[in-house]
Amino acid sequence: MIENKITTKKIISDSPKNTEKIAYELASKTRPGNVFALIGNLASGKTTFTKGFCKYFNIIENVTSPTYTIINEYSGDIPIFHIDCYRISKTKELLDLGIEEYFDFGGIMLIEWPEKILDFLPKNTIIINFEYDKKNQNRRIIKIETNN
């Protein structure tokens, strides 16, 4: 039996610009079909991270949180689907929006507030946790967890 190995990388970001840079570098190592679960409190850096990620793929649209639209689609070198589950109370709501189809579009998915749908996500979803640094509230601790 082959066992999957979970790898965690911890990165400290001292500014929104640095968070965007971290995301840009991670984007350079991704491929179509990747799914990212962005976990963190309000204003912890999830949307800022998404902005930096989208820059790598030459997305020129204004990247904003899809809190009210639920899904933002961005066109660049490859499609990016930015999903926000904050207002979702049941997985069925996302199914009604056709989320299953997004997994087949050949793009990359970045999902904010994925805690509500973790059981629905693919096993190889990359988990990214954003935490405030207890010693400095302006800094973020970003933990990237991959399942190899």
Quick: pLDDT tens for 97-132: 777 777 777 899 999 988 878 777 888 899 999 999
CB contact at 8 A, 65 and 43: no
Q: Are strands 126-133 and 108-112 parallel, antiparallel or unpaired?
A: unpaired
Q: Give all domains of the chain, ordered by start, each with its CATH number.
A: 6-147 (3.40.50.300)
CB contact at 8 A, 90 and 119: no
DSSP-derived secondary structure for 28-58: TT--TT-EEEEEE-TTSSHHHHHHHHHHHTT
Dihedral sign for Cα atoms in the order 131, 133, 134, 137:
negative
Geometric angle at alpha carbon 27, from 102 and 146, rounded to 5°: 80
d(CA 98, CA 95): 5
Q: How confident is the prediction along the chain (148 residues), in pLDDT tens digits per residue? A: 445 667 889 999 999 999 999 999 999 999 999 999 999 988 888 999 999 999 999 998 889 887 777 888 999 899 999 998 887 777 777 777 777 777 777 899 999 988 878 777 888 899 999 999 888 888 999 999 987 6
d(CA 85, CA 15): 25
d(CA 83, CA 128): 14
